[in-house]
Amino acid sequence: MSTPIVEIRHLKQHAGETVTLRGWVRNVRTSKMRFIELRDGSGFVQCVVSANDAEPESYELAGRLTQEAAITATGIVQTHPKTGAPELLVKSLTLVGESVDYPITPKEHGTAFLMENRHLWLRSKRQWAILRIRHTLVKAIRDFFDEDGFTLLDSPILTPSACEGTSTLFGTPYFDEGMAFLSQSGQLYQEPGLAAFGKTYCFGPTFRAEKSKTRRHLTEFWMVEPEMAFAHLEDVMVLGERLTKFMVQRVLEGRQEELKILERDLAPLEQALNVTFARMTYTDAVEKLKELGSDINWGEDFGNDDETILMNAMDRPLWVHRFPKAFKAFYMEPDPIDPKLALGADLLAPEGYGEVIGGGERASSLQYLLDQIEHEQLDRKDYEWYLDVRKYGSVPHAGFGLGLERAVAWICKLPHVRETAPYPRMLGTLKP
């Protein structure tokens, strides 16, 4: 006689029925009664093995199960007499794969050890919750742009030169063409797509060979980069805010169990959903920072502390816009009212998470771009294809980049982005 195989997430629908579960042993507590905490990737459930209800050899097996052994368990779905949660009253157990001396024990571990065992750490409850939320955010991002009429236009990962010229790039030999570089942004490749598709986005890994050693940096991270034709700075802030709210909403709706595992305070997320994001010009932000005790001067980029100081005084996400042109990328459109300023906007997440979105309006004048390329001492030859966007039907256009890992870190309220990626790549971390 065979019983239906059921995923733990569907257990509730099978109350009173005999079913088979397949999964891994998270923990075992043995007394006369034996309790197996089982996980199957879809959820967690307690299996109860008693001498009365289980076959003798299964009862015996339950007594010698080890952490992370793979098993199947067949029994009746009942409710926990104390908590009311579904549990399985076991009739029979089979051992599918044994597990000897699993390194990650129920007690605490250091970060270095956990990172070395990242491939196993993925099985831990917190990591499971975080990566499920990451999954939901990726899906939300795709759904948002697809439903909004954007066309996915994949930017290449192997590129011939720097896009922004500032950051360090990872290089790799590319046949007879010399060095190729891993892309640090797909944006420049989106712009030519506008005249073909109107609104486009790319979403994939990007790479920065910066020797940054902070809680906000990975050398490999995912970024979604929408770009819109006939669009201005205002459109960036409107779109970015809608996207952020959509992402937060999807997680609040669909990942309640995971948020609970993470003990995430939901109030700041609900707040972000229900209010209009704050806006402040760079110039006002500098004034505000000075009031709050920062030693920043106009013309300097925000330091890590500055973002923290600014956001501690804020109860919602904040757009900072119109930065000094000097420290922004060469392709930014200058502010027609004050040409010292660039029409850029960054979205700072609350709770100390800092920049999640960076974007703005792109320069649409060929002559202006040529002047900028000369001024920045870039090689015009590298950008001819990019300049063609301005030669053949140039229009105002704008877009932004949203860093997935930073969004996950904020929404899960994590102390470090390294937990937001399945296999994070950082300064000094290439394994596993």
Residues between 153 and 182 that touch RNA (CB under 7 A) = 164, 166-167
The stretch near RNA (CB under 7 A) out of 2-10, 43-51, 152-160, 260-268 is 43-51
Applying CB under 7 A, among 16, 32, 97, 377 the residue interacting with RNA is 32
In 127-246, which ranges are E strands?
151-152, 158-159, 171-173, 179-182, 199-207, 220-229
Applying CB under 7 A, among 1, 56, 97, 108 the residue interacting with RNA is 108
Q: Do the strands 220-229 and 199-207 form a parallel or antiparallel pair, or are they unpaired?
A: antiparallel
Give least dist CB 392 to RNA, A. 27
Whichever of 394 and 421 has its CB closer to RNA, that residue is 421
Site string for RNA, 274-303 (x = CB under 7 A): ---------------------------xxx
353 three-state secondary structure: coil
Site string for RNA, 57-96 (x = CB under 7 A): -------x-xx------------xxxx---x-x-------
| Distance separating alpha carbons of residues 191 and 168, to the nearest angstrom | 23
Applying CB under 7 A, among 15, 119, 171, 214 the residue interacting with RNA is 214
Whichever of 114 and 180 has its CB closer to RNA, that residue is 114
| Distance separating alpha carbons of residues 87 and 246, to the nearest angstrom | 35
Applying CB under 7 A, among 10, 14, 20, 33 the residue interacting with RNA is 33
178 three-state secondary structure: coil
Q: Do the beta carbons of residue 297 and residue 283 sit within 8 Å? A: no
- Does the protein bind RNA through residue 241 (CB under 7 A)? no
- Does the protein bind RNA through residue 221 (CB under 7 A)? yes
- Does the protein bind RNA through residue 215 (CB under 7 A)? yes
Site string for RNA, 346-365 (x = CB under 7 A): x-------xxxxx-------
Whichever of 216 and 264 has its CB closer to RNA, that residue is 216
Whichever of 4 and 103 has its CB closer to RNA, that residue is 103
233 three-state secondary structure: helix
Give residue for tokens 């202006």: 368
Give least dist CB 428 to RNA, A. 4
Cα 362 to the chain's mean position, in Å? 26
Applying CB under 7 A, among 118, 132, 217, 322 the residue interacting with RNA is 217
- Does the protein bind RNA through residue 54 (CB under 7 A)? no
Whichever of 116 and 388 has its CB closer to RNA, that residue is 116
Give least dist CB 356 to RNA, A. 6
Whichever of 238 and 395 has its CB closer to RNA, that residue is 238
The per-residue b/e assignment along 126-142, b for 16 or more CB within 10 angstroms, e otherwise, is ebbbbbbbbebbbebbe
Which tokens is 267 given?
């109030």
Select from 115, 7, 120, 127 the least CA-distant residue to 67: 120
Q: Do the beta carbons of residue 22 and residue 41 sit within 8 Å? A: no
| Distance separating alpha carbons of residues 312 and 228, to the nearest angstrom | 32
The stretch near RNA (CB under 7 A) out of 146-154, 207-215, 275-283, 368-376 is 207-215
The stretch near RNA (CB under 7 A) out of 123-131, 149-157, 212-220, 388-396 is 212-220
The stretch near RNA (CB under 7 A) out of 5-13, 16-24, 266-274, 421-429 is 421-429
177 three-state secondary structure: helix
Applying CB under 7 A, among 16, 84, 101, 177 the residue interacting with RNA is 101
Whichever of 167 and 283 has its CB closer to RNA, that residue is 167
| Distance separating alpha carbons of residues 34 and 292, to the nearest angstrom | 58
Partnered with residue 48 across adjacent β-strands are 35, 89
Q: Do the beta carbons of residue 268 and residue 351 sit within 8 Å? A: yes
Alpha helices in 198-281 (DSSP H): 233-254, 256-261, 267-274
Helix, strand, coil % (nearest 5) of the chain?
35, 25, 35
The stretch near RNA (CB under 7 A) out of 23-31, 196-204, 240-248, 273-281 is 23-31
